[in-house]
Structure 1
């Protein structure tokens, strides 16, 4: 049986992340530019979606790790792209509630990226609530994939 600490160390080594284990556990992002993460090659994978629990806009540890990777990719780009963050919800609840929840989710992602050093004037948020599901089935598996925030890199306007 692998100990939790060993597993966390393995994940850090595999991911090539320079964030210390103490920073990994912290709920607050590091204050240095781009979280002290090494800018990744611009061809690196950009993890565009993060997922949330039911009725929540709290970032999970997995979401925080994905956002650190996003910030690293953004840091390496010379053109400093604009980022649009879309907030989404599952189909349960009213349209108004889900629009507000999607907005809170997008804002949580925006705030975390800004805390990692992404320029605030390059980040916009929008909520689609339950209007644009990733999966159209009505079961827990589909709902869990629809409770998300999606970050999109867009070209700066000239």
Structure 2
């Protein structure tokens, strides 16, 4: 039988992984939905065409929001898992890095959607989220590896 003991301050880890990250997902979805209406992109189409973007600036902005949201969804679940696993061994560090990831992803979203930079180049202002995500992955692997080696 395997027993997992969580540190006393694990609640903050849960708050980031299962609170802040999903809330940011809802924010992404809300922004994307509101811009879909303004861009006049009907369901089930995921993106505005090049022609629609030339005719309506909101269509290009919708495409940026849709791509930012998709990129978030591509990375959120693993980041939540990395935060939860890393937090078992390093709760303060996992909380801090997870929080940094949320802040950087927020900047990524803002830059991508609202900066007005062509071709979504505003997303680069939050692109450092990759470093936070990599750090969480490394902490997870390192923490679990240390535990496995100690058996």
Bigger fraction of residues in helix: 2
Q: TM-score, normalised by structure 1?
A: 0.23
Quick check: which has more Rg, 1 or 2? 2
Bigger fraction of residues in strand: 1
Q: TM-score, normalised by structure 2?
A: 0.23
